[in-house]
Structure 1
Amino acid sequence: MNRDPVTIVVVDDASEVRLLVKTRLRMSGLLRVVGEGADGAQAVALAREHQPALMLLDVSMPGMDGLAALPRVLEVSPSTRVVLYSGFEEQGLAGEAQRLGAAAFIEKSSPIDSLSDRLLDVLAPDERPEPAGGQGAPLASGGPHGVPAVDQQVLDDHVERFREVFEEAAIGMATLTLTGRLVRGNRALAALLRRPVTELTGLFYGQFTDGRGEQVTAALEEIRRRPVDIVQLEHGLAGAADDRRVRAILAPVRDSLGRVLYLFLQVQDVTAERAAVEQLRKSEERFRLLVEAVEDYAIFMLDPTGHVVSWNSGAQRSKGYTDEEIIGQHFRVFYPPEAQARRHPEHELELALRDGHYEEEGWRVRKDGSRFWANVLITAVFNEVGEHIGFAKVTRDNSERRRLEQEREHAVQALASTNAELESANARLEQVAQDQAQFLAVTAHELRTPVGVLGGSAETLTRHGGDLTDEERADLLEAMETSSRRLRRLLADLLTASRLQASSLEIHPAPISVSDIVAEAVTTVSRTTSDAEILVETPADLVVYGDRDRLGQAVDNLLANALRHGTPPVRITARRGSGRVEIRVSDHGSGVTAEAQPRLFKRFATGRSSGGSGLGLFIVRELARVHGGEAFYEQGSPQQPSGAFVISLPSGDGPSDPHPGDPPGTG
């Protein structure tokens, strides 16, 4: 039996996870970490360099994911046993990993205490190291991740609720690697693609499209090239017997540095919607043909003075006169009294003689006195020697056409109104779906790592603190502090945003010193950012009327935003002007691009280079509005190129409500 620790390489894009795993593997005394990496390309390079006995490989990573890296690792180091390590449920992923050559599949939700044993289980008995005296002692276990049972129940409940939302969604949902391979799909997606859920894992989504995957490949390339929030495409389904059409939305999920970790996919069947559009087009085409087919002509001759000299059956059918009744009468009898009174019939003949012909549409009168809408063409007729001998008159009864056109116009207006309402409803539904996708992606990513690291690190320090080196203990404590801050800020932002959205946020206004609010905010962010450089200029006598905690949260969010996205030092100033108090936060960076400015204060708007919930500036603006103020971004100048974020509030020591006797409301 081997007495030397087994060599292993750890590859995971989350540094906190790598730290926790390395520490626990070292404490086992049976495994020695000889290298660590953050993506699939580094995994291949480390395998080539170290030829390790084991490799613990994350599935979803930027650049090259674990599924893509696995065959390449085995190609450069055939003796290495690769174990896939993923935060996703197995759901067929283990089978795909085994097909690609993995020795095992371990979920990150498995107890950290059992990780060493599960890794060693993939080795042959004679390859496993013999524990030295005092080393490799079993680590005490609690719940999964080693967290206390009560805390584990809370974590399990949260994970279960997230999984229920994912699985029970009415539209297809999935997570994809950056190369477009399905990692996990829900039942709705499986039903749409007509494949069992277990068979979807590891398949390239493009193979389900009717264009050999070119659309999906182009969408993946766009996500890699540009910091887009979503990419939308519409396609048919490959191999489907019917003509189904689906709309697919790809939303990249990014880490705290803005790098894309994996993709969130939504797929919705839009076949009925497309069929309705096509049916409308065909209906309009049939309507056009019907209108063009309605014909009714009256053809007769007039003498040079306008008296009827000939009559055809079409004229009799159209106007109701027999030839005996009408021949010899002036054609003015076909016109309404008002047209006769202004001598319009005679004027038509004058124009026809002058120009060779005259054409118009207007009301005409039948024998029974009823009116019809007619198209009239009068042509001057000359004999072979050029003498004017009369007029040829063609009248087409367009009453039916006019009625149809009016009905069509009304129908088109109604359809346009209906289409506008449908488009508006679709836009709202799409926005809700995108917000839900973004919310699920952001929340899942923001919670997964800090909760796991916090629980694992706390259990490690509690039960094995004496076995840790000073450096390991300090690193774990720092990781716990970082994760705790992330969770507290995310929880506060989510609760505040939810109450603002539901108009249920309570405020307790009172006169507040602006300098006190600023000082507390500076103290708060200084605790979480040790190297923060903040310059403060706030007069001691500035007072606003508002809720101290809510305004403090708004200022705190502005400072945190400047420290995360800007360039130090950060400057915060306050001043009074025109009955308002303005709190201005700026830094020495290059400012916000014109492209990003329109969505600065929208929900879930995140920057390219930093993580976060995307709720900070949204909360700042809504809290300012609750207090009768506003928040906005002020464009930079040559003296201050970075620009500034400004909270503008009513000044004074009392409410700005025009009815001060009323009790303060809620936001």
Structure 2
Amino acid sequence: MPSDPQRYGGGPDDEPVGDVTDPANWVALVEYLPEGVVVADASGALLGANRRAEQLTGIPLRSRTGEQVDRVLPLCDHQGRSWWQVQDPWGGLTTRTGSPEQDLRLQGGRSLLVASRFQRAADRSVEHVVLTMRSTRGRERAERDSVALISTVSHELRSPLTSVRGFSRTLRQRWGQLADEQKQWMLQAIETDTQRLSRLVGELLDISRIDAGRLRLRNQPIDITALVEDQVGRMISAGHDPDRFEVVGAPEPPELWGDQDRIVQILSNLLENAVRHGGGSVTVSIGQDSENVILLVADQGPGIPPEDREAVFSRFWQGSTRGGSGLGLHVVRGLVQAHGGRVEVLDVPVGATFRVLLPAGPPESLR
């Protein structure tokens, strides 16, 4: 480590730092880190910090090198205790190497996520204390998403569960008093609501796998035209008017490799979205260019405003006239991207048109 405290304040617009592989010139690298970095010496004096640390703390740290770091950077926990006194980086057990990331506060209420590392000499004394810090916005956003998830799931589960419980209780208590038509209607309602529950749980599991990068695909050659026709047939079997649907095939069968179950899920979500929110006819077109298999799902509804065409793929997004969990299109994007493709909303004069581009031909591992 360098002996000159000012060297820790260097950076891209300061004097050249020389060979960045030399430990004495490590600051040339930390200036490019997305996290804030603060370093104190064995006496607790501030040696230096990078610009990101100054941005996060709002304190001109690099102009206060040589001062005691606990005064320059008065970090406190949520109980108001000084982090420097509680952790005592220069005292305590000599086996300590640092502390895990914690949510700490500065004067004025600014929050930071701070972790520390203690660099020890051969005699186990602390030579340097290095702090890394980052904004709490990411964690706060994740917490808001978790609250939104719980709220959405609770709302979506409540209605079908209430329906299933009510109808099943009625059937059990009044079976002999009900006409056959009434029984069939109630049983059909129970089946519809259980399918809705199963779909919601499946979407939540898919989102979890996609976000965690644990979604596995079983790639195989797919007859996309037959798959589209099958999904349209399922919509018709569910009671939708067959005259409402049109399938426009490609001049030549596209060569598509992918996970058939996931491609079915993409098609199903887009068709249900078009039927639920589009109104009028629904057209599914199949095409291919030199690199992609192209699917277009178009409806004749009110369309999607330009400012919302990216937001529709967000988790839990619901427009003013849209119902459901707000998860379907988010799942569509995740599944399409897992196949190496992309999905977008086109700018069309009438209705809404979703375009899906999936890589044509077998995956590189099979070429």
Taking the TM superposition and a 5 Å limit, the aligned residue runs for 1:370-381 are none
Q: Is 1:535 the counterpart of 2:246 in the alignment?
A: yes
Does the 8 A contact of 2:56 with 2:134 survive in 1? no
Amino acid of the structure 2 residue aligned with 1:538: G
Q: Work out which of the residue numbers 251, 257, 265 in structure 2 matches 1:553.
A: 265
Write the distance in 1 (CA, Å) between the matches of 2:52 and 2:219.
51
User: 1-side partners of 2:258 and 2:50: how far apart?
Assistant: 54
The equivalent position to 2:202 in structure 1, one of 489, 492, 500, is 492
The answer to whether structure 1 residue 660 and structure 2 residue 299 are counterparts is no
SS class of match (1:464): helix
CA distance in 1, matches of 2:188, 2:365: 51
CA deviation after TM superposition for structure 1 residue 464, in Å: 2.7
3-state DSSP of counterpart to 1:648: strand
Counterparts of 1:510 and 1:527 in 2: how far apart (Å)? Answer: 27
Change (3 A) 1:414 1:496: closer
What is the CA distance between 1:573 and its match in structure 2?
0.8
Provide, for residues 217-247 of structure 1, a one-character-per-residue CA deviation record: whole Å limited to 9, x for no partner: xxxxxxxxxxxxxxxxxxxxxxxxxxxxxxx
Query: How much does 1:474 deviate?
Result: 4.6
Deviations 1:618-662 (A, max 9, x none): 11111111112111111113xxx224101111223xxx544537x
Tell me the SS of whatever aligns to 1:595.
helix
Specify the alignment match of 2:351 in structure 1. 642
CA distance in 1, matches of 2:166, 2:318: 28
What is the 5 A alignment of 1:53-92? none
> Corresponding residue for 1:582?
294
Any idea what SS the aligned residue of 2:307 has?
A: coil
Matches within 5 A, 1:204-283: none
SS of the equivalent of 1:600 reads helix
Q: Indicate conservation of the 8 Å contact 1:628/1:650, yes or no.
A: yes
Task: Give the alignment of 1:357-368 within 5 angstroms.
Answer: none
Question: Within the alignment, does 1:448 sit opposite 2:87 as a pair?
Answer: no
Which amino acid is 1:549 matched to?
A: D
- Quote the offset at 1:417 in angstroms: 4.4
Q: Following the alignment from structure 1 to structure 2, what is the Cα–Cα distance between the partners of residues 649 and 428?
A: 31
User: For 2:54, which of 415, 431, 449 is the aligned residue?
Assistant: 415
Alpha-carbon distance change, 632 to 600 in structure 1, aligned in 2, over 3 angstroms: same
> How far off its partner does 1:561 sit?
0.8
- Whether the 8 Å CA contact 2:53–2:133 is kept in 1: the answer is no
1:310-459 equivalence runs, <5 A: 414-418=53-57, 425-459=135-169
Label 1:418 to 1:562 Cα distance change in 2 as closer, same or farther (>3 A). same
Matched to 1:660, the amino acid is: L
Counterpart AA for 2:156: E
Structure 1: how far apart are the matches of 2:311 and 2:133?
Answer: 22
Matched, 1:651 2:360: yes
Matching of residue 624 in structure 1 with residue 333 in structure 2: no
TM-score, scaled to structure 2: 0.61
Flag the 1:412–1:511 CA change in 2: closer, same or farther, 3 A: closer
- SS state of the match for residue 149, structure 2? helix
Query: What is the TM-score normalised by the length of structure 1?
Result: 0.34
Q: Aligned letter for 1:614?
A: G
CA contact (8 A) 1:485 1:528 kept: no
The share of aligned pairs that are identical, in percent, is 32
C-alpha distance 548-657 of structure 1, shift in aligned 2 (>3 A): closer
- Distance between the aligned counterparts of 1:521 and 1:496, measured in 2? 20
Contact 1:524 1:556 in 2 (8 A): no
Task: Sort the Cα spacing of 1:659 and 1:418 in 2 relative to 1 into closer, same or farther, 3 A.
Answer: farther
Query: What is the alpha-carbon distance in structure 1 between the residues aligned to residue 355 and residue 51 of structure 2?
Result: 48
Distance 1:528 1:496, change over 3 A: farther
Q: Is the 8 A contact 1:634 1:645 kept in 2?
A: yes
Cα displacement (A) at 1:437: 1.5
Per-residue deviation, 1:529: 4.6
Distance (Å, rounded) in 2 between the aligned partners of 1:453 and 1:587: 31
Deviations 1:337-383 (A, max 9, x none): xxxxxxxxxxxxxxxxxxxxxxxxxxxxxxxxxxxxxxxxxxxxxxx
* Structure 1 stretches of 4+ moved >6 Å: 409-413, 421-424
One-letter amino acid of the counterpart of residue 650, structure 1: P
Counterpart of 1:636, as a letter, is V
Bigger Cα displacement from structure 2, 452-461 vs 587-596: 452-461
Distance 1:422 1:428, change over 3 A: farther
The residue that corresponds to 1:596 in the other structure is: 308
Structure-2 separation of matches of 1:459 and 1:516: 42
Which structure is richer in relative contact order (CA contacts within 8 A, separation 6 or more)? Answer: 2
State the Cα distance separating 1:423 from its structure 2 match.
Answer: 11
Task: Report the Cα distance in structure 1 between the residues aligned to 2:240 and 2:172, rounded to whole angstroms.
Answer: 26
Query: Is the 8 Å Cα contact of residues 278 and 352 (structure 2) preserved in structure 1?
Result: no
CA shift for structure 1 position 477: 3.0
Paired amino acid for 1:440: I
Superposed, 1:103-114 pairs within 5 Å as none
For structure 2, the 5+ residue unaligned runs are 1-45, 59-130
Cα gap change, 1:581 to 1:411, in 2 (>3 Å)? closer
Q: By how many angstroms is 1:584 displaced? A: 0.5
Write the distance in 2 (CA, Å) between the matches of 1:634 and 1:525.
Answer: 24
Once residues 136 and 215 of structure 2 are traced to their aligned partners in structure 1, the CA distance between those partners, rounded to angstroms, is 30
- How big is the shift at 1:439? 0.5
Separation (CA, whole Å) in 1 of partners of 2:132 and 2:274: 41
C-alpha distance after superposition, 1:450-504 (max 9, x if no partner): 1221133134335533311456435423422331231122122112111111111
Corresponding residue SS for 1:428: helix
Amino acid in the other structure paired with 2:54 = L
Aligned-partner residue type, residue 340 of structure 2: G
C-alpha distance after superposition, 1:47-83 (max 9, x if no partner): xxxxxxxxxxxxxxxxxxxxxxxxxxxxxxxxxxxxx
Please give the alpha-carbon distance, in whole angstroms, between the structure 2 residues aligned to 1:566 and 1:621. 19
Query: Deviation at 1:445?
Result: 0.9
Residue of structure 2 aligned with 1:615, choices 324, 327, 349: 327
